[in-house]
């Protein structure tokens, strides 16, 4: 098999890149380790920056998103029983969109099917060969049968545990990582949201987040120990603990119900450099991970796709390699700013086991400065809605 761009990973970033390139007449093949149903069964965040929304529109897959999404003009920050709002629209002139990653992925799958896009599911034993040459190729197996794709370029959109990053030699790549000493216990419930905006809550008992997917589907999180398992928390225990961490008026308004999904996610910050080796380009979680505080995971993947898409279109249409030559430089410049914002929000709102009384006073002073200072609120709003590409 031959194609112009082999894309490893059939999640939203790989599918979005494939869709964008297809509309420019550039041929792709997407390799996905799991089935479509498995990918669509993964519960992920759903806050989309303006840049991601615009990419979906450019890809021609925004109709349902524009019809069904929630527009969020701001957010609420609470500490103890104190709370204040930050209006993104007022500070930046734009908003964020709440539209679940599962729905983004579903729309992209439907679009690729409609346009006859090539997606190979249930692939195994994927290997990237000759990435540092002018004739890369990818080998893999499906049902035990060996397959090969010859291509011009390879896009590694296969996540933190995928093969793409591991293909770059250790003497070429450098990795930066911070592991946080806690996780997030998340619950999805068929209940109305407790507030029309997200609530980021800092309390003496730890962090909490009140979010939503739609009018009848809510997503809540609480900071928990890394030693916890989802089964350690009954639904009642979760709701009781959430109430203790959010403002009293929100606790009183909270509608509870059975959880339809419950999981614990560890928090880490991670970046690998460079994001390009020869004709292999890393995108999304294959190259970087952020804590979920601030909702940058999917959005940082989208910025990678923006830079790679434009670079590949440039080289295929004009032969000019400037875009792909500077891909890693451009992507990393924005990634590190998103890493900083996620790290800052995580440190602002969580309880750390080694915090001294002085550290706790500084944390509260930082929140109160954010509450009272317009410039600080503007900086947060600019980062939250998404820095320009």
Check 79, 109, 200, 327 and give the catalytic one: 200
Q: Residues 315, 251: one domain?
A: no
Assigned domain for 75 exists? no
Q: Residues 172, 102: one domain?
A: yes
Assigned domain for 80 exists? no
**What pLDDT score does 43 carry?**
63
Distance between CA atoms of residues 6 and 181, nearest Å: 37
Task: Decide the pairing of beta strands 217-224 and 206-214.
Answer: antiparallel
Q: Find where tokens 């809550």 sit.
A: 201
Q: Say how far residue 30 (Cα) sits from the centre of its chain.
A: 20
Compute φ and ψ for 129, nearest 5 degrees: -120, 145
CATH code, 258 = 3.30.9.10
Assigned domain for 82 exists? no
**Residue 293 DSSP label:** T
Q: What are the DSSP calls for 17-82, one per residue?
A: HHHHHHTTT--EEEE-SS-HHHHHT-----EE-HHHHHHHHHTT--HHHHHHPEEE-EEEEEETTE
Check 12, 22, 72, 221 and give the catalytic one: 72
Range of the domain at 188: 180-266+351-385
Quick one: which of 27, 190, 213, 184 has its CA closest to 118?
27
Assigned domain for 79 exists? no
Strands (E), 215-351: 217-224, 259-273, 276-277, 280-282, 288-289
Q: Is 170 helix (H, G, I), strand (E, B) or coil?
A: coil
Q: Residues 52, 152: one domain?
A: yes
- Told to judge if 72 belongs to the known catalytic residues of this protein, a careful annotator would answer yes
- Told to judge if 327 belongs to the known catalytic residues of this protein, a careful annotator would answer no
- Told to judge if 109 belongs to the known catalytic residues of this protein, a careful annotator would answer no
CATH code, 147 = 3.50.50.60
Chunk the chain into consecutive blocks of 10 residues (it has 389) and report each block's average pLDDT, rounded to whole numbers.
Answer: 97 97 98 88 81 96 94 95 95 94 93 95 97 97 96 97 97 98 96 94 97 89 97 97 96 96 95 98 98 94 98 98 98 98 98 97 97 98 96
Q: Residues 184, 246: one domain?
A: yes
Q: Residues 202, 313: one domain?
A: no
Q: Residues 144, 231: one domain?
A: no
**Residue 122 DSSP label:** S
Assigned domain for 325 exists? yes
Q: Residues 189, 117: one domain?
A: no
Assigned domain for 77 exists? no
Burial of 345 per CB tally in 10 Å (0-12, 13-18, 19+): buried
Strands (E), 195-235: 198-203, 206-214, 217-224
- Told to judge if 384 belongs to the known catalytic residues of this protein, a careful annotator would answer yes
Q: Residues 145, 231: one domain?
A: no
Check 91, 195, 288, 296 and give the catalytic one: 296
Distance between CA atoms of residues 218 and 312, nearest Å: 39
Assigned domain for 85 exists? no
Total domain count for the chain?
2
Assigned domain for 84 exists? no
**What pLDDT score does 168 carry?**
98
Distance between CA atoms of residues 258 and 213, nearest Å: 16
Q: Residues 324, 218: one domain?
A: no
Check 153, 292, 306, 307 and give the catalytic one: 292
Q: Residues 45, 156: one domain?
A: yes
Q: Residues 54, 152: one domain?
A: yes
Q: Residues 63, 124: one domain?
A: yes
**What pLDDT score does 40 carry?**
83
């Amino acid at each position: 098999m031959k194609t112009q761009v082999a894309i490893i990973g059939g999640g939203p970033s790989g599918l979005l890149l494939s869709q964008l390139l297809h509309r420019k007449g550039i041929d792709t093949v997407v390799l996905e380790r799991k089935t479509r149903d498995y990918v669509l069964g993964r519960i992920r965040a759903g806050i989309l920056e303006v840049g991601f929304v615009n990419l979906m529109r450019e890809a021609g897959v925004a109709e349902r998103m524009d019809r069904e999404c929630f527009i969020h003009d701001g957010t609420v920050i609470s500490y103890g029983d104190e709370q204040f709002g930050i209006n993104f629209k007022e500070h930046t002139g734009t908003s964020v969109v709440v539209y679940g990653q599962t729905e983004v992925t579903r729309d992209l799958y439907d679009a690729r099917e409609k346009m006859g896009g090539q997606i190979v599911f249930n692939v195994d034993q994927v290997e990237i060969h000759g990435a540092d040459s002018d004739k890369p190729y990818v080998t893999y197996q499906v049902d035990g049968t060996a397959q090969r794709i010859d291509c011009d370029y390879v896009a590694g959109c296969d996540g933190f545990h995928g093969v793409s990053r591991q293909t770059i030699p250790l003497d070429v790549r450098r990795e930066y990582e911070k592991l946080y000493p806690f996780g997030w216990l998340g619950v999805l419930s068929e209940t109305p949201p407790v507030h029309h905006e997200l609530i980021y809550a800092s309390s003496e008992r730890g962090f909490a987040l009140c979010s939503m997917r739609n009018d009848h589907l809510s997503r809540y999180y609480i900071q928990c120990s890394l030693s916890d398992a989802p089964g350690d928390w009954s639904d009642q225990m979760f709701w009781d603990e959430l109430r203790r961490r959010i403002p009293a008026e929100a606790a009183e308004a909270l509608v509870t119900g059975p959880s339809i999904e419950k999981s614990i996610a560890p928090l880490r910050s991670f970046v690998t450099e460079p994001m390009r080796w020869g004709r292999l380009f890393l995108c999304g979680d294959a190259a970087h991970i952020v804590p979920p505080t601030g909702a940058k995971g999917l959005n940082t993947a989208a910025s990678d796709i923006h830079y790679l898409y434009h670079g590949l279109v440039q080289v295929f249409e004009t032969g000019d390699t400037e875009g792909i030559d500077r891909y890693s430089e451009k992507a990393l410049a924005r990634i590190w700013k998103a890493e900083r914002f996620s790290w800052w929000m995580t440190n602002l709102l969580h309880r750390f086991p080694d915090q001294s009384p002085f550290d706790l006073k500084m944390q509260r002073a930082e929140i109160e400065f954010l509450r009272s200072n317009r410039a600080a609120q503007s900086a947060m709003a600019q980062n939250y809605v998404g820095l320009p590409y």
